[in-house]
Each structure stands twice: as C-alpha cells, then as structure tokens.
Structure 1
Amino acid sequence: MSSLDTSLFKQCNFVHFWVGQIASSFAFQMLSVGIGWQMYELTNSALALGLVGLFQFLPHLLLTLVIGHVADRYNRRIICICTRLTMASTVGILAFGNLTDTLSANMIYACAVLLGTARAFEMPASQAILPNLVPSQYLSRAVSAIASAREISVIVGPALGGLIYLLGASTLYLTSMTCFLVSCLIMFFLRYNYVVKHKTPVDLAHLLGGLRFIKNNKLILGSISMDMFAVLLGGATALLPIVAKDILHTGPWGLGLLRCAPAVGALLMSIYLARHPLKHSVGKIMYGAVAIFGVATIVFGLSQHLILSLVALFVLGASDMISVVIRSTLVQLETPDDMRGRVSAANSIFIGSSNQLGEFESGATAALFGTVPAIVIGGVGTLAVVGVWMYLFPNLLHRNSLENETENKA
C-alpha cells in the first residue's frame, strides 16, 4: 500500500471500498477459472466457452437503460450489496451442482446469465460511488488504486483458483462464494452518505441520458469505443483453456498462470500510474498503448512456448491498463454526478462488448478458423482500429491532460 499514494489511503471510506472491491474481484476471478475449465471438460467446445461470455453480456445489453436509472435513483451501496449477494447465491448453485453430480453445460449457461445480470447492476453503481468517496484531486490516483486492487485479485485469484480446483470444483466454488459474502459485509459498513435526489419524471429522454451524453462528448465516445473494439477483437481470454490444454500442453495450474500474466503487467502499470499520474500527451499515450496491445496479442497467438506466452500476456495487460486508467478518469471527471449512473451503465455496454461479447467473438472465430488464426486476426484487427480511430477522433489524439482542459482555460 505504501507504493501507492499515502494521502489517498488516509481516506477511510476509500480503504473500505478498496478492500471490498478486492474481495469481490477475487471471488469472480477464481470463479472464472472453474467455469472455463469445467465447461471445456464438459463440452470440449470453443463455441461453448464463447457462449458463456455471451450469456454474461446479454443482461448488460438488454437492461442498460434500467441499470443506469437504478444507479442514479437509489442507494449505490445497497445496490452493490444486493448484487454481490446474488452472485454468492449463484456460485452456491454451481457448488450444489458439483456436490450432487448434476452440473451440466445448460446449468452453467443459466448461472452465467444470473452472474451477468448481477454484474450489470453492480458495475455502474460501484463506479459511480468512487467520486463521492475521495476529493477530485485524488480521483485519477483512486482509479489507478482500484485498478491495482482488481489486478491483485486477477493475479492471485486465477493462480489460487487453479490450485484449489485440484481439490475439486465444489471446493473452488465454495471459496468463491465466501469471498463474495465477505465483500458484502465490507460494503455493509461503508460510510456512504446517500442523498435522495430530486426525482424527475422517468421518461425515455431520462433513460437515454447516458447514451446521449456519451454521443455528444466526442472525447469520451472516442476513448471508450476504441477500447471496446480493440479488446473485442484482440481479447482472447475465452480461448485460454484451449491454449493451455491443446497448444501449451499444460493443466489447470498453467491456465491459472496464463490468466495471471496480464494482471501482473496491469498491476505493475497501475502502481506506477498511481505514483506517477499521466500529465501530458495522454491521447497519444492511449493510442500507443492500444497499438502495443494489438502487437502483444499477435505474439501470444503465434507462441507455442509457455514463457513467451506469459511475456506477451504481461505486455498486453500493462498496455491495456494505461488505456483503462485514461478512459476511466476522463469518463468520471467529465460526467456530472447525477448522470454518473446512467453514463456508467452505458459505458458498461462498451466494457461488456469488449469482454463478454469479445469472448463469444473469440470462441466463434476459433470454431471457424482455429485457435491460432483467431487470436492473430484479432491482434491485426486491433491495430486497424487504432489507425481508423486516429482519423475519426483527432481530438482524443491531441488531448494533452486528463484534467478538464476547458475549465482550466476558463
């Protein structure tokens, strides 16, 4: 913690929130290893792995307008508690299925829908809480610190999850469920001063407010859409079980290492950014980081050696973290508080598209062309996105600072 910003961590509420995020993310990362490995053992299908991601994404897509409205109208802390309780219960269903030997691919798909629904409501609520917990001058560092918490869990979670899986899938699921419950308890004691806002009439214009705000703010639109398409094409996490088993010829422990590698790179980068926030040429840095992400994806796709694959994933994670911090900070700083829920919900569509829908895209492409071509094509597509977005969003390319430059000039 000392490597981050000590003044930031003197904010007691932020510490509670930070630890709660670690527990929740830790639970989900362990869970992802179990679901991925077990689904591939049940089906031996790349498409089935992709469908797990698709079923997690669909609630984000179908419920976006409702999610944003809920996050702006109701206590965001309570929303986080309820959604994490839902995730704990869903993991309990998976554990029960294993203990009674009744688990099937269809049961995993159903649980993926429940997890996706809970995460769809939890994500914008937790994102919108953050600016209310720390002073604005600490927000960029807070975003990096939260990213560090997530990456710590992504490093430890999959590695430990792979080891716990050796004791049985039910043991892994019960451990994940416990972490979700711990996160709920921590959030229960979070001191968050919820203020009942003036409840304007709920109409279509209100529900579409987040999407309209993003559309009219070209800087935010450019940053989150580039991140979406880059990770949508270049993300290959759904294929990691296949890469581990069929290309690198390793087991669950190897899959855990592969899932850890991007997080190690992301963690080190987030710690660096927390201590040394980006101050100049943030637009050019973001474009460069996404380009490096694409190159690292190509290297990973061509690799047949575990060490080289881990190095490529390490670089991929570090470059993606730069993009995440820039995008997240711009969205939070330029969005009014009474719209953060709806904007975060709309933003979650982009994030969900790049992650869960990206998993489906990777699985479908791998089923058509093979695992290696699918990953390489995705990396090339990411580089193409960078070139197109430099032309479409020159204001993002020439953005110098993370701070609101219009206000500074005024």
Structure 2
Amino acid sequence: MSTGPGADSAPAPTTHDSRSTPEKTPPPGTRAKSSMFSSLKVRNYRLFFAGQVVSNIGTWMQRIAQDWLVLSLTGSATAVGVTTALQFLPMLLFGLYGGVLVDRLPKRRTLLVTQTSMAVTGVALALLTLSGHVEVWHVYVAAFAVGLATVVDNPARQSFVSEMVGPDQLQNAVSLNSANFQSARLVGPAVAGLMITGVGTGWAFLFNGLSFVAPIAGLLLMRARELHVVQRAPRGKGQLREGLQYVAGRPDLIWPIVLVGFIGTFGFNFPVYLSAFADDVFHAGAGSYSLFNTLMAVGSLVGALLAARRGTARMRVLIAAAVAFGLVELVAAAAPSLWLFALLMAPIGMFGMTVNVTANTSIQMGTDPAMRGRVMALYMMVFLGGSPVGAPIAGWITDAYGVRAGLAVGGAVSAAAAVTIGLFLARVGGLRLSVGWRHGHPTVRFVPRERREELTAAA
C-alpha cells in the first residue's frame, strides 16, 4: 500500500539548533487530563499498538525457544549466556551511532526496514530448525543479527511514539507500550512452552518471524499526513559528540539517565537473585522461580497502567518510585517466608516499571525532537548495558555473602542513588524540604525557597 507524501517523507528544514525549545509540557502544578487508554484514540498509534501486541508475544516466544534450542544443542548454560551476550553486544558497541542514524532518517521507513530484517531472521532460523540442519553457530549469528537491527529499531520505536501521538498523549502511549510488553511477557513464554513441547522449537521461531507481519502492516496502513512533523538532523560531522554534549548540559536529562543506570546495574539483577532465592533460600525449585517472575510481571503491568492513568511525568514521581523500589527490595531481602517474598515481587515490579516509564517519558518530553534519537539511544544503552556490568557484581556478592546480602545491596544502592539525586535536583531547582501540617495531617514536600521563607516568617 502506498503511504503517500507526509511527515515521514518530507525533508526537514536545513537549519538546526540543538538548543531549540523542546515540546511543551504542562505547566508546573497542573495535571494533564488523561484516561488509561486515551492515546488509543489516535488511529496511527492504534495500528502501531495492535501490531506490537502480536510482535511482542512472538519476541518472548523466540527468547524462550532460542535458549531451549541452544541448551538442547550444547548442553551448556554458558552457551546460552553467550547467545544472550551476542544479542545485547551490538547495543553496547553501536547504540549511540544508532541514535545518530535515527535522528537523520524518517522513523516509519526505518522501522519498516528493521522490522522486516528481524522477520527474515526469525523465518530463516525456523527453516534451519524445522529442516534439521540447525547448528549452534546459526543461533549465534541470528542473535547477533537481531541485536544489530535492535541498535536502530529501539531508538526509532521509542522516538516514533511522539510523532504518532504528540506531546499531550506521550506518557500515556509510552505507558501503554510498557503494558503491552509486560502482557506479552505473561503470554509469550507460556505459549512457547506449549509449542516447544507439542511441535518443537522451529514452529516457535516461525511464529515469531510471521508475527512481524502485524507491525509492518500497521506501519504501511498509517496516514502519514496525521503524523506530527519533527525536524530531522541533517548529515554532518560530530553529531555523536553533539548528542553527548546536549545531554551533559541538561541536568533534567542527565540525572534521570544516571538514576536509571544505577537501578538497572544494581537493582534489576533478578535472574541472579530470584533463582538463588528459589533454590538456595526456600529450596522450592523451578515452580517458585516461575511464580516470582509471574508476580513481578503482573506488578510491572499494573505499574505501566497506573502510569498511563496519571498522564504526566513528574520528577518527584520518578524519585519517589526509585526510593520505594530500593526499600521494598531491602524488605524482600529479609523476608522470612516464601509467600511473603513472592508477594513482594508485585510491588517491586510496579515501582520498577514506574521508574522506567516516568524516566522514559520525562526524557522524551524534555528533548528537542531533532536530538531525540541520540538521547533515547543513550538512555537505552545505559539501561540495557547495566545488566552485563551489574550481574557479575551481584553474582560475586551472592556467592561470597549469600543472596540476601546481594539483594539488600542492590536495594540499598538504588534507594541511596534516588535520594542523592533527588536532593541534588531539589537544590538545583531552588527547592527546600518543608515539613508541616495540612488539614490535620503531617506533610513532607519540597517547596520553592521563597515560599519556605514566607512559611517560616508566618510561623
């Protein structure tokens, strides 16, 4: 289907100023009106969302089938780890360059290319597996190829959301994307398990390959004239350095990225923690490990839907959620029973998702659209790149001092980073802590320094 001329095909103006005003956000103290699914009223985003529902389920199916196939071929958990590393390695090596490309290119056409390449990879792996010719190096190559496509696909998808819905519905759309992914996390592995047991891993790969037809069709059916026009960055030297300098000069961008980096590196090492709690602490086996992950996914889904309901991304919500995330991890580290530990997985998932969605939205809303690809690439590189650094540290602490100590350290670092960054941002923003009474209840909040002085004088 012809997409016709529109926002994604028209060339951008040749002038560009990385310091131009970002998209408008609601004035401080106001609350954007939003319902939980308000962004789905936008036709283009509705098509995108529907395609992602199918594609995300396929992605989770392929993750499970891929690990199972490698384990079946090699009998080695190390080989499974190598496969995962190969899939994330391109993002660590080339993530920032992917952001530069995304800022130069039309997002919708870029996504058509990346989604098609991932579909071809899934189908090729399916044919090799179903024909009985698959070898472990084929899986390695496929994982690396998907990783290369993700280098461009990830920042393109993140920044394309604002072109579909505009600034007013951005948080709602980002939140629904997260809810979409978490829903697929609940459905995809279960379907993959049934398919692998019933007909084999090859069919799971085939489903994933064919699942990309849905998002590709959605992209083709979009009305280009209804997309929000954004300025694309012209080709030029030093654009990677320009993006880093842009973030470095913006405390409202760099500190949320730093906070997400701390939490992603030290607080999100759940594959290490949950398996050890299931095996070494509660001696309950794989069933409890699955229960922990399921409850965390449910909490994450709730967190994403609540973020969609709020409609605004506030820094205080980000800081409060990060502190709560760290504190609940500390409580979970000391949980005496399996069921209490399992129940705490839901709030951990909810607060963790609130941090992710709020940081994502506030960064997108505060960024010049022509710089958004580079900024979101940096954000995703920090968020995803934390695990390869933090997992070995978490594993060492767990081996040396026990898994309770490992989870407690992760929670303490997350909470301490949130408090430190929150106090710093309050100081930069000219705020002071105010403790008092309101309507017969104690209140603790940040207020402008001038108002604090007025309150002190009035007292």
- TM-score normalised by length of structure 1: 0.81
Q: 1:199 to 1:224 in 2, by over 3 A?
A: closer
Say which of 307, 321, 325 aligns to 1:273.
307
- The answer to whether residue 322 in structure 2 is matched with residue 290 in structure 1 is yes
- Per the alignment, residue 203 of structure 2 pairs with 171
Q: 1:198 to 1:73 in 2, by over 3 A?
A: closer
1:143, 1:325 within 8 Å by CA — same for their partners in 2? yes
- Per the alignment, residue 221 of structure 1 pairs with 254
**Distance in structure 2 (CA, Å) of the matches to 1:211 and 1:25:** 31
Q: Larger radius of gyration, structure 1 or 2?
A: 2
2:277, 2:403 within 8 Å by CA — same for their partners in 1? no
Say which of 343, 368, 382 aligns to 1:311.
343
Deviates more, 1:227-236 or 1:173-182: 173-182
- Per the alignment, residue 408 of structure 1 pairs with none
SS in 2 for 1:133: helix
**Distance in structure 1 (CA, Å) of the matches to 2:193 and 2:401:** 28
- Gaps of at least 5 residues in structure 1 are 401-410
- Per the alignment, residue 18 of structure 2 pairs with none
Q: 1:196 to 1:136 in 2, by over 3 A?
A: closer
Deviation of 1:12 after TM superposition, in Å, equals: 0.6
- The answer to whether residue 105 in structure 2 is matched with residue 71 in structure 1 is no
**Distance in structure 1 (CA, Å) of the matches to 2:133 and 2:289:** 25
Percent of aligned pairs sharing the same letter: 24
2:65, 2:192 within 8 Å by CA — same for their partners in 1? yes
Map residues 367-378 of structure 1 onto 2, 5 A cutoff.
374-378=406-410
- Per the alignment, residue 208 of structure 1 pairs with 241
Map residues 10-49 of structure 1 onto 2, 5 A cutoff.
10-39=41-70, 42-45=74-77
Map residues 2-151 of structure 1 onto 2, 5 A cutoff.
4-5=35-36, 7-39=38-70, 42-45=74-77, 50-96=81-127, 98-99=129-130, 106-151=137-182
Deviation of 1:177 after TM superposition, in Å, equals: 2.2
Deviates more, 1:23-32 or 1:359-368: 359-368
1:64, 1:349 within 8 Å by CA — same for their partners in 2? yes
SS in 1 for 2:223: coil
**Distance in structure 2 (CA, Å) of the matches to 1:116 and 1:147:** 20
Structure number having the greater helix percentage? 1
Deviation of 1:125 after TM superposition, in Å, equals: 0.6
- Gaps of at least 5 residues in structure 2 are 1-33, 434-459
- Per the alignment, residue 236 of structure 1 pairs with 269
Deviates more, 1:174-183 or 1:215-224: 174-183
Deviates more, 1:376-385 or 1:57-66: 376-385
1:92, 1:174 within 8 Å by CA — same for their partners in 2? yes
Q: 1:40 to 1:256 in 2, by over 3 A?
A: farther
- TM-score normalised by length of structure 2: 0.73
- Per the alignment, residue 19 of structure 2 pairs with none
- The answer to whether residue 386 in structure 2 is matched with residue 354 in structure 1 is yes
Deviation of 1:245 after TM superposition, in Å, equals: 7.9
**Distance in structure 2 (CA, Å) of the matches to 1:301 and 1:40:** 31
**Distance in structure 2 (CA, Å) of the matches to 1:399 and 1:175:** 55
Deviation of 1:327 after TM superposition, in Å, equals: 0.9
2:123, 2:210 within 8 Å by CA — same for their partners in 1? no
**Distance in structure 2 (CA, Å) of the matches to 1:297 and 1:271:** 22
- Per the alignment, residue 189 of structure 2 pairs with 158
- The answer to whether residue 292 in structure 2 is matched with residue 261 in structure 1 is no
**Distance in structure 1 (CA, Å) of the matches to 2:224 and 2:245:** 28
Q: Superposition RMSD on alpha carbons, in Å?
A: 3.7
Deviation of 1:6 after TM superposition, in Å, equals: 5.4
What letter is aligned with 2:147?
G
2:307, 2:358 within 8 Å by CA — same for their partners in 1? no
**Distance in structure 2 (CA, Å) of the matches to 1:88 and 1:178:** 7
SS in 2 for 1:166: helix
Deviation of 1:76 after TM superposition, in Å, equals: 1.0
SS in 1 for 2:97: helix
**Distance in structure 1 (CA, Å) of the matches to 2:414 and 2:156:** 30
Deviations 1:86-118 (A, max 9, x none): 222333344345445565655444333222211
1:232, 1:361 within 8 Å by CA — same for their partners in 2? no
Q: 1:43 to 1:235 in 2, by over 3 A?
A: farther
1:77, 1:192 within 8 Å by CA — same for their partners in 2? no
Deviation of 1:377 after TM superposition, in Å, equals: 3.8
Higher RCO (C-alpha 8 Å, min separation 6)? 1
What letter is aligned with 1:112?
A
Deviation of 1:387 after TM superposition, in Å, equals: 4.1
Deviation of 1:265 after TM superposition, in Å, equals: 1.0
Deviates more, 1:129-138 or 1:359-368: 359-368
